[in-house]
Amino acid sequence: MGQGWIETCQKILEQIERMSQKKDKDRLDLIQSMRFSLYALHRSILGWLNWINNPDIMVTFSQKELEEMNKKLTEFITEFIKYDMEVTEKGVSKGMAAQQISESAERTRRTPEDMFYI
């Protein structure tokens, strides 16, 4: 990882910017943008893990640099996980509501006389 990684990161940032600037986004555009962003984050995390797990790379950073990296990462990850929890709670409540509606509709559609068994 070096200059090529940085150039690819720049292209990813440009694509994210293009996606965010698009006018009249529909649901598919929004989902596509979120998917691209999450894969970009995944790529970045894998790169970080490769560095963190390589003592030859990590030894080149000073204590102060490591402290700064740690601070930024923990702040970012904390906010990301809080947001993850918030969206998950919404999804769970929406999923439960949809399931209840579906079950209610199923009960009202089927009556014992409608059932046919062999």
Q: pTM for the whole thing?
A: 0.74
The boundaries of the domain holding residue 79 are 62-109
Same domain, 20 and 52: yes
What is the per-residue pLDDT for 115? 58
Higher-scoring residue by pLDDT: 79, 93 = 79
pLDDT tens for residues 52-81? 999 999 999 999 999 999 999 999 999 999
- Total domain count, the chain: 2
Structural domain contains residue 118 = no
Same domain, 56 and 3: yes
Same domain, 33 and 74: no
Same domain, 35 and 74: no
pLDDT tens for residues 32-55? 999 999 999 999 999 999 999 999
Structural domain contains residue 116 = no
Listed residues 40, 60, 80: the one ending a domain: 60
DSSP secondary structure string for all residues of the chain: --HHHHHHHHHHHHHHHHHHH-SS--HHHHHHHHHHHHHHHHHHHHHHHHHHT-HHHHTTS-HHHHHHHHHHHHHHHHHHHHHHHHHHHHHHHHHHHHHHHHHHHHHHH--GGG----
Arithmetic mean of pLDDT, 86-106: 75
